[in-house]
Amino acid sequence: MSGDGRASEGGEEEVRGARRIPGPRGAVDDLDLESVPRPLLPPPGPAAPDEAVPEQSAAEPPGPAAPERAGPEPSGPEDSGPEDAGPRDPGPEDAGPEQADPEDAGPAQAGPAQAGPAQAGPEQLAPHPFAPHPATPDQATPEPLMTSAPGTGLSHRVLQALLGAWALSACSAEETAAVEDHLTECAPCADEALRLRDAVGLLHTDGSLDLDPTLRSRVMDGCLGRRPARIPVPEHAAPYDAETARLDALLRDIGDSEWHAPVRLRWFEEEREVSRRTTVAGVIGHLTAVDGLLSAALGLDDPLGRGETPQDPIERTERYWSAAQRPPTRTVREPWRAQSHELIRTASFAGRNVAEASVSYGAFALPLQDALLDRAFECWVHGGDIADAVDYPYQAPAAAHLHRMIDLAARLLPAAVAGRRRAGLAGPAKELVTAGAPGRSVHLEIEGHGGGDWFIALDSPAALGSPERAVAQVALDGVEFCRLAAGHISPVEAAAGQEGDREAIRDVLFATASLSRL
């Protein structure tokens, strides 16, 4: 090496012909160049740095063989570049870059000046290492892991996405058929469909969304079992307490506009059905006016005010409605609610001392304990009328309470039959007996909810109903019997089964309907 840092010519000659250490291997070398199409050669540009170009294609046209270079200087006459400038005279083989034939130069013969893209042939240019691989005919699209059933036209992914809609029965007929065909062949989708169908089953219920009518009684019994009430509600007042609470829950749920929904009140007079139109608020006003009879019997304030007030339920209702200066609204709820609470509270504190107190209804009177059952029955019946008007679910009372209501109606039937006989609406008495003696009877069999067996005396209210003297039998469902007693169905439609004396059966059924009133 000379003092100016340049290698001497002799040194250059000594290293000629030695093997050259290869440069770093690029990522492009890992590509399968045979499967990648070559782009066209770009226009010539400046020479690239001195770097060996790896062998790119085995399909090159054959060129003259050249020895490998290990040093900076080319070893053959075809090599040209900046290192060739020296004392050697240029010969015909020393062609410059402009004179080189790209087809005659092999990949191992390229010199430093020939390593750039401007000197590479169109079949020798490698793609960019990060460029996407274009598809070739030998590269097929990978098949999906699972496919749909033949002929459905839907892929596995689409059918899998339809499983939720299929479980909800929201697919079209074609989609349903495609999904079900797919489920016979795809076990994972079949398992998922089974889980979704089970989950959908939890969303649908055949039961009513309304609370169980016995829920309040069960909760109260549980609470009182742990800590008995100091002043318990009497047994005869429990049905009225439960039914007013249920009706109050209904009224709490309805909107302002529903208080003006039309309601048709129905009852039975003599041989025909009678009705009266009002509103939801009007029904609550009617209950308030008639409940006032019990308030007056217990010494509480009468909702019709002080002074002389009518005793007949229809007259009291008409006066209450006429006293309102405008159609009643939801404001009637609070007075009715407060009055019912006060009735239960007073009856609870009085206990058995007032159970036999008489409550006058004008044409007849009832003991307070029976009057409370009567008001519970009417509260349930009119609660059902309101529920029908506003499309609200409303169930029958608890079985124990319904049984007590049916028992009250059965006890009132002998007097009702006698009243219709005096009016010429029932057949004559056939066998009069002394008071308390067994007489001709009709076996009233109440089935289902709150059912039981009662024997209704036919010839005298003072006679005793007896199974030994039964001349006929009639079977009714418990709720249907109450609907008949409320005047909501006719006697002809009510009987489920009849046997025996037809006249006696007819008298009992029509007497039951005559118990109804506004």
Shared domain check, 322 and 237 = yes
Q: Is the pLDDT of residue 131 over 70?
A: no
Cα–Cα dist 295/442, whole Å: 36
Shared domain check, 370 and 297 = yes
Average pLDDT over residues 111-116: 43
User: Which run of H or E residues covers position 455?
Assistant: strand 452-457
Cα–Cα dist 368/374, whole Å: 10
Shared domain check, 493 and 376 = no
Shared domain check, 318 and 247 = yes
DSSP secondary structure letters along 368-408: HHHHHHHHHHHHHHHHHHHHHHHT---PPPPHHHHHHHHHH
Cα–Cα dist 249/226, whole Å: 26
Shared domain check, 428 and 347 = no
Q: What is the pLDDT of residues 412-434, one digit of tens each?
A: 999 999 999 999 999 899 888 88
Q: Which of 207, 205, 263, 262 is nearest to 393 (CA)?
A: 207
- Asked if residue 33 is part of any domain, the answer here is no
Q: Is the pLDDT of residue 54 over 80?
A: no
195 half-sphere exposure, CB direction, 13 A CA radius: 5
Cα–Cα dist 513/494, whole Å: 10
- Whichever domain contains 489, its CATH number is 3.30.1050
Q: What is the pLDDT of residues 373-412, one digit of tens each?
A: 999 999 999 999 999 999 998 999 999 999 999 999 999 9
Q: What is the pLDDT of residues 303-328, one digit of tens each?
A: 998 888 899 999 999 999 998 867 78
% of the chain at pLDDT higher than 90: 45
The pLDDT value given to residue 469: 93
- Are the beta carbons of 493 and 462 closer than 8 angstroms? no
Shared domain check, 304 and 175 = no
Beta bridge partners of 498: 474
DSSP secondary structure letters along 480-503: HHHHHHTTSS-HHHH-SEEEE-HH
Q: How far is CA 66 from CA 63, 114, 265, in A?
A: 9, 14, 117
- Are the beta carbons of 274 and 268 closer than 8 angstroms? yes
Cα–Cα dist 350/343, whole Å: 11
- Whichever domain contains 334, its CATH number is 1.20.120.450
Q: What is the pLDDT of residues 216-249, one digit of tens each?
A: 778 877 886 777 777 888 999 999 999 999 999 9
The pLDDT value given to residue 437: 92
In this prediction, residue 168 has a pLDDT band, given cuts at 50, 70 and 90, of confident
Cα–Cα dist 43/119, whole Å: 10
The pLDDT value given to residue 336: 96
Q: Is the pLDDT of residue 144 over 60?
A: no
Residues 490, 493, 497, 498, Cα dihedral to 10°:
60
Shared domain check, 232 and 378 = yes
Q: Is 151 left (phi over 0), alpha (psi -120 to 50) or beta?
A: left
Q: Is the pLDDT of residue 194 over 70?
A: yes
- Asked if residue 4 is part of any domain, the answer here is no
Shared domain check, 409 and 330 = no
Domain count, the chain: 3
- Asked if residue 232 is part of any domain, the answer here is yes
Task: State the residue range of the domain holding 488.
Answer: 403-513
More confident residue, 72 or 220: 220
Q: Is the pLDDT of residue 454 over 50?
A: yes
Shared domain check, 328 and 366 = yes
Q: Which of 292, 304, 450, 481 is nearest to 381 (CA)?
A: 481
The pLDDT value given to residue 96: 45
Final residue belonging to a domain, choices 390, 419, 438: 390
413 half-sphere exposure, CB direction, 13 A CA radius: 32
- Asked if residue 114 is part of any domain, the answer here is no
Whole-model pTM: value is 0.60
- Asked if residue 367 is part of any domain, the answer here is yes
DSSP state of 107: T
Q: Is the pLDDT of residue 31 over 70?
A: no
- Are the beta carbons of 439 and 459 closer than 8 angstroms? yes
Residues 6 or more apart whose CB falls under 8 angstroms from that of 433 comprise 439, 459, 460, 463
Cα–Cα dist 287/227, whole Å: 33
Report the mean per-residue pLDDT for the chain. Answer: 78
- Asked if residue 88 is part of any domain, the answer here is no
The pLDDT value given to residue 301: 92
Residues 6 or more apart whose CB falls under 8 angstroms from that of 68 comprise 19, 20, 108
Beta bridge partners of 263: 278
- Asked if residue 47 is part of any domain, the answer here is no
